[in-house]
A and B are shown apart, each in its own frame.
Chain A
Amino acid sequence: MSTPLLELRGLSGGYQPIQIFQNVDLTVEQGASIGFFGPNGHGKTTLMKTISGVLEPWRGDVIFEGQRLNRAKARGSRRWRNFNYDVVTPRRMDPKTVARAGLIHVPQGNLLFPEMTVEETLSIAPLVAAERHQSSAHESALHEKVGALFPRLQERRNHKNRFLSGGERQMVSIAAGLLADPKLLILDEPTLGLSPKLRLELCEAIKTIRAAGVPLIVIDQDIGFLTELIDVLYLFDHGSISRRLERAEIPSHDQLMAMLFGEAV
């Protein structure tokens, strides 16, 4: 068997001192995509932020292409509650290392950089991948692909991000993620709060990304959309994975709700 693309082993985390998720074990095989489905506020976003290193994992490991992205050693027991542990121990995980390894996280509901133009934003997005392949030809090929995917951004290139519509902002975020040349792309609720028309446009773009062979982790509330994209669906509630469903086993939305909330619903 080949090494999996991403492996989580007993991952726990949250916002000190409140733990949000615990003991998450998960494997994403090479070339596969997975989906997350679960109620609001149960920790999906927190889990993704921990995978990408902006939050510190409390316990457990994040292994990407066979390499552990976090430090092995757990941080001090935090016995001195207000002690600045940042000075004496390095962080367990560094978002820069994660992004440079090719694991790119497009955050939920994000207005990237309000005072920068679309063009400026997209110009810095490929920096993270520049070390992996030093050819500028590769970069301009990426730019071309992304341009074809989101023609609307071309028209808006000199607009500041804060003047964009919600859908356009989401497009900038995803485009920036793609320009980082991801080996695995995390999309956290990419279609949340969009008008039906824009939503459709964005769903098509994401399907195109998937068809181009970019493995995805997608969090979404639309089971139909997820089923078209992914190979495995994880049901996530109360901070842990409650079920793993192969694509063929994914039931209808109503049945899923029943699974998550019990038969009463």
Chain B
Amino acid sequence: MISLDTILIVTSGGLVLGAIYALMASGLAVVWTTLGIFNFAHGAFIAAGAYIGWQIAHADASGLGLVAGTLGTLLAMFVFGVLFHIALVRPFERRANIVAASVITTLAGATVIENVINLIWGPRSKQIGRMLDGDFSLGPIALSMNDLALVVIVVATLGLVGWFLGATRTGRSMRAVAQNREAAELMGLDVPRLYAAAFGLSAAMAGLAGIFIGSIRFMTPTMGADPLMKALIVVIFGGVARFTSPIYAALIIGMVEAFSTYFVGLYWTPAVLFALMMVVLVLKPAGLFGKHQRTL
């Protein structure tokens, strides 16, 4: 028999996974909805964020602690995302083949980032370590403090980004550019700058996800490949009709993955996820919560 305890443990595992996926997928969706391109370097951004965070925070490196590590990573990754956009995406901005061209340039960018990480930090795996020690329990729910902190920070971050996009003029301008570039240009909005800001925001979110992954798993230069695939599944599975769509989808995917890993096995889990995605896409091509392909 499956005990309630088992269910709760698996559920909390799914919650943590879902939170990390939500952070990655909504970061990916910010670029996807705003620029209309898919950033294949998002996984490499995650790795870069993890290593920068490790460099600042870890006792073996600068040893400045996790708070400084996180803030430093957010800032560094924002700047990095902006530069990445200027170098590898902006040149195609007004060309019809931007989608195809940016597949190649972002893939190329990802490879370069991974190799540079390898060059600087070496191939040996590292770990940032837990943000918090101890366990948290409330009734039958038991989570490690680290997992709890992770979920809380993700919720707060997504809330902040959602507020930024919905309530500030810059965030609204970003959505405006995403929905109708020409009208935004006629309004005098600085389109290239808003695109760059979207990339920067997305990269900073990836960096934060990297730190979280580094806190619970081992880091390698290619650590972003699997999360990128998951984020892609989440974005396509949930659609991007709203900022919240990938978040719900991420929770569902996280839960499915946790339960499937426990009950079906690790080996079969990717197949389960892809099967689920196929069914959803056949029935709802714009995603589970989707109405349109590209909005925010």
Q: Do A and B come from one complex?
A: yes
Chain A contacts to B: CB under 8 angstroms: 52-54, 84, 86-87, 95-96, 98-100, 104-107, 110-116, 120-121, 123-125, 127-128, 176, 180
> What residues of chain A lie closer than 8 Å to B126, measured between beta carbons?
none
Given contacts A124-B169, A128-B189, contact A112 B183 (CB under 8 A): yes
Partner of B183, one of A53, A96, A113, A127: A113
Contact A100 B188 (CB under 8 A): yes
With contact pairs A86-B91, A127-B188, A127-B189 given, residues A116 and B175 touching in the complex (Cβ less than 8 Å): yes
- B180 and A95: CB pair below 8 A? no
**B179 touching A115 by the CB < 8 A rule?**
yes
Asked if B5 is at the interface of the complex by the 8 Å CB criterion, the answer is no
B124 touches A (CB below 8 Å): no
Q: Contact: A180 with B295, CB < 8 Å?
A: no
Q: A121–B188 contact, CB under 8 A?
A: no
B95 x A114 contact (CB < 8 A): no
Query: Which residue from chain B places its CB closest to the CB of A113 in the assembled complex?
Result: B179
Chain A residues positioned under 8 Å from B93 (CB to CB): 86
- B98 vs chain A, min Cβ distance (A): 11
Q: Which residues of B contact A105 (CB under 8 A)?
A: 186
Q: Kindly provide the distance from the CB of B10 to the nearest chain A CB, expressed in whole angstroms.
A: 36
Report the separation of the CA atoms of residues A114 and B166 in the bound assembly, to the nearest whole angstrom: 14
15 A-B pairs (CB sep. < 8 Å): A52-B186, A84-B92, A86-B93, A95-B185, A100-B188, A112-B179, A112-B180, A112-B183, A113-B175, A114-B179, A115-B179, A115-B296, A125-B187, A127-B189, A128-B188
Nearest-neighbour CB distance to chain A for B271, whole angstroms, equals 35
Question: A124 near B180 (CB under 8 angstroms)?
Answer: no
CA distance A98 to B183 in the complex (A): 13
In Å, the complex CA distance between A225 and B173 comes to 34
- Interface membership of B135, Cβ < 8 A: no
Question: Considering the chains assembled together, what is the distance between the CA atoms of A39 and B173 in angstroms?
Answer: 35
* Given contacts A86-B91, A96-B191, A115 and B186 within 8 Å (CB-CB): no
**Which 4 A-B pairs rank lowest in CB-CB distance, beginning with the nearest?**
A99-B188, A128-B188, A95-B185, A113-B179
Nearest CB of chain B from residue A142's CB, rounded to whole Å: 14
Q: Is the CB of A87 within 8 A of B186?
A: no
Min Cβ gap A46→B in Å is: 13
Please tell me if the beta carbons of B185 and A96 are within 8 angstroms of each other in the complex.
yes
Whole-angstrom distance from the CB of B189 to the nearest CB of chain A?
A: 7
Q: How far is the CB of B260 from chain A (nearest CB, A)?
A: 34
Q: CB within 8 A of A124: which of B91, B182, B187, B292?
A: B187
Contact B188 A54 (CB under 8 A): no
Contact string against A for B residues 159-191, beta-carbon threshold 8 Å, 1 for contact and 0 otherwise:
000000010010011011001101111111111
The listed residue with most A CB atoms (<10 A of its CB), out of B166, B173, B182, B296, is B182
Residues of chain B within 8 A of A125, CB atoms compared: 187
Contact B183 A115 (CB under 8 A): no
| Cα separation A86 to B90 with both chains bound (whole Å) | 9
Knowing A54-B185, A84-B91, A113-B180, the reply to whether A96 touches B190 (Cβ < 8 A) is: yes
Query: Smallest distance from the beta carbon of B95 to chain A beta carbons, Å?
Result: 7
Distance to closest chain B CB from A36 (angstroms): 17
Q: Output the nearest chain A residue to B166 by Cβ-Cβ distance.
A: A120
Partner of B172, one of A106, A124, A176: A124
Q: Is the CB of B176 within 8 A of A113?
A: yes
